[in-house]
Amino acid sequence: SFGIPEGIGAALLVQTDGAEGQAMEDLLRLCEVAVDVGARDVVVAQNEKTREGIRRSRRLVSGCLKEKYPFKLSDDIAVPRSRMTELLLRSQEEADKDGMHFCAYGHMGDGNLHVNLLCSQETRAQAEICRTRIMSIAVGMGGTISGEHGIGIAKSELLPMEQGKPLIDFQRELKSVFDPKGIMNPKK
């Protein structure tokens, strides 16, 4: 895996595609831009083993957070890409108001962000309130409370903040056409 030094506030993993020469040229230009706006360092993977190590580090983030903070609340929210920085800043502000540890990672290219409130059993109720405020911020930015994992049971109580009753009723009616007995994904 690839280690990120202590004290780094953010890491951006970028992958380019296309013809090999053009992809490398694009990647080097992105590195220049990163340095120009204050990046401490840039690392370009020179081979597949290094690329996979970097990807593996990203995949390990959630598990490492869960190990350190067993009561991690994690949500996948999405906003228009142009508002991603604002969402990160405002989410951090909301977490700070409640003394919550906050961590986020995601897919910047499609505006999908995994926001994590890292709490203890004692602070979990307050974290749930903070979670709702952050989701409300995302919706207010033209985003959604679920960028990739769906609403399911965990977010069903929050769906009305994004979709009005007529739309939710219509979705229930449509589901009943395909599932008249309510046996597919019950209560979802």
Tell me: the pLDDT tens digits for 55-107?
Answer: 888 888 888 888 888 888 889 999 999 999 999 999 999 999 999 999 999 88
- 168: exposed, middle or buried (C-beta count within 10 Å: 0-12, 13-18, 19+)? middle
**The dihedral formed by the CA atoms of 147, 151, 152 and 155, expressed in degrees to the nearest 10:** 120
Instruction: Give me the count of residues in the chain.
Output: 188
Flag whether the pTM goes above 0.95. no
H or E stretch covering 73: strand 73-78
The Cα–Cα gap between 150 and 156 comes to 10
- pLDDT, residue 1, reads 58
Which of left, alpha, beta for 43 (phi over 0: left; psi -120 to 50: alpha)? beta
The Cα–Cα gap between 7 and 111 comes to 25
**Which pair of structure tokens corresponds to residue 80?**
């228009």
**Residue 157, CB-side half-sphere exposure with 13 Å CA sphere:** 5
| 3-state class (DSSP) for residue 115 | strand
**Mean pLDDT lowest among 20-24, 138-142, 143-147, 152-156:** 152-156
- pLDDT, residue 118, reads 92
Q: Tell me the average pLDDT across 128-154.
A: 91
The Cα–Cα gap between 144 and 137 comes to 10
Could you tell me the strand order of the sheet in which 101-107 lies?
73-78, 112-118, 101-107
**Which pair of structure tokens corresponds to residue 103?**
């961590």
